[in-house]
Amino acid sequence: MNLLQQRILADGVVKSAEALDASAFLTKQIDAQLLNWCAKEIVAHFADANIDKVITIEAGGIAIGVLTALALGKPLVVCKKAASILDNSALYTAPVKSFTKNTEYTLSCDKAHVNAGDRLLFVDDFLAHGQALLGIQSVCQQAEAEFVGLGIVIEKSFQGGRQIADELGLQQLSLARLKSLENGVEFL
């Protein structure tokens, strides 16, 4: 059992058969040492992938994204969920359904930050239904960038996101794969 799995068992709260609250160490309060360990594991896994940039989605992916990009010595591109008056008008956009919040948002990425031929590693805090993954895939296609990998802190394997990643042919690493939350946390 790795450090992250131990922490999930100690401080994760199962809210339902579909939802794990990791706010004590991953989202609302971040255990920087634990997340740094996670980033180093992701970087080691993708060491031979020739990553040009790390890409993530606000807000949950920013902490793991920063630490991963720092360890790789590469830039981090943050895709936004909401428009801002500061946004460049040249954006890649994709609709994304959030099951956690039961909303749909338009993912946006400044065209100046992702270039044709860039090799991108998508990192995020959770992989569930795979909708954010599809949004990033769309951004990569629009930019003619190469989507080379997926690094996830916690994967809810019972919700289908991994199948989408498999269908996209992505190299992937999930540091904690949840088999079920039906009767507490069960890992694969």
Per-residue model confidence as pLDDT tens digits over 20-36: 999 999 989 999 999 99
Residue 84, pLDDT score: 72
The percent of residues in the chain predicted with pLDDT above 70, rounded, is 98
Q: Taking residues 72-85, what's their average pLDDT?
A: 88
Give the whole-angstrom CA distance, residue 107 versus residue 50. Answer: 25
Collapsing DSSP to helix, strand or coil, 47 comes out as coil
- Structural domains of the chain, count: 1
Give percent of the chain above pLDDT 90: 84
Q: Each residue of 145-188: pLDDT tens digit? A: 999 999 999 999 999 999 999 999 999 999 999 999 999 999 99
pLDDT of residue 88: 72
Say if residue 87's pLDDT is above 90.
Answer: no
Farthest-apart Cα atoms in the chain, separation: 48
Q: Is the pLDDT of residue 117 over 80?
A: yes
Q: What is the rounded distance in angstroms from the CA atom of residue 108 to the CA atom of residue 7?
A: 33
Q: Kindly tell me if the per-residue pLDDT of 119 is higher than 90.
A: yes
Q: Which residues contact 158 (CB under 8 A, 6 or more apart)?
A: 178, 179, 180, 181
In the prediction, which pLDDT does 85 show?
66
The mean pLDDT of the chain is: 93
Structure tokens at 176: 């904690």
Residue 175: which domain range?
3-187
Q: Which residue has the higher pLDDT, 95 or 165?
A: 165
pLDDT of residue 97: 85
Q: What is the CATH number of the domain that holds 16?
A: 3.40.50.2020
Measured CA to CA, the distance from residue 8 to residue 177 in angstroms comes to: 11
